[in-house]
């Protein structure tokens, strides 16, 4: 990562309190999800789902506690269209596992910053995303079918 997708760039998130956190950065000048035309907006959301699929594959292989993927498209602090992909785990504290990731009080602490400890997962995420996008984008114009 970073990896080029049709609608933008997939990057691994810089905080690692929940391994597998990734972001899709739209490569246009959109601020709101409704700024791009409908086709471009659908492509962005489709790419976000593909990124989530890659996170699911990589994280479920790496951690038996993997539960699911959560998605967010926020826009308050950064005026650039982007989507968050969060892996969620059974080992998260009960009080935090069922709510939004932003409820974690310590997610910005230096001990969670991306570093060489995360190289294996970063490589697995990159491989999964490369495989998924190659399969999907090769399907023809629009890449509208989800790979089986």
Query: Rounded CA gap, 88 and 25, in Å?
Result: 21
pLDDT tens column, 42-67: 999 999 999 999 999 999 999 999 99
Please tell me the predicted confidence (pLDDT) of residue 142.
52
* CATH number for the segment(s) 3-143: 3.30.428.10
Residue tagged 């079918």 (tokens): 145
Task: Report cis status (omega within 30 of 0) of the bond before 2.
Answer: yes
pTM to 2 decimal places: 0.88
CA distances from 132 to 50, 90, 136, 146 (A): 7, 25, 6, 9
- The residues spanned by each domain of the chain are 3-143
pLDDT tens column, 63-102: 999 999 999 998 777 789 999 999 999 999 998 998 888 8
């Amino acid at each position: 990562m970073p990896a080029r997708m049709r609608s933008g760039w997939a990057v691994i998130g810089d905080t690692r309190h929940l391994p597998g956190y990734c972001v899709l950065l739209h490569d246009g000048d959109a601020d709101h999800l409704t700024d791009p035309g409908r086709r471009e907006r659908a492509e962005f959301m489709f790419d976000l789902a593909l990124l989530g699929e890659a996170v699911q594959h990589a994280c479920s292989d790496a951690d038996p506690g993997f539960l699911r993927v959560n998605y967010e498209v926020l826009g308050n602090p950064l005026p650039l269209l982007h989507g968050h992909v969060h892996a969620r785990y059974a080992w998260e504290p009960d009080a935090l596992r069922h709510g939004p990731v932003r409820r974690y009080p310590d997610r910005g602490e230096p001990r969670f910053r991306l570093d060489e400890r995360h190289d294996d997962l970063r490589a697995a995420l990159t491989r999964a995303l490369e495989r998924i996008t190659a399969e999907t984008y090769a399907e023809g114009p629009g890449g509208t079918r989800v790979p089986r």
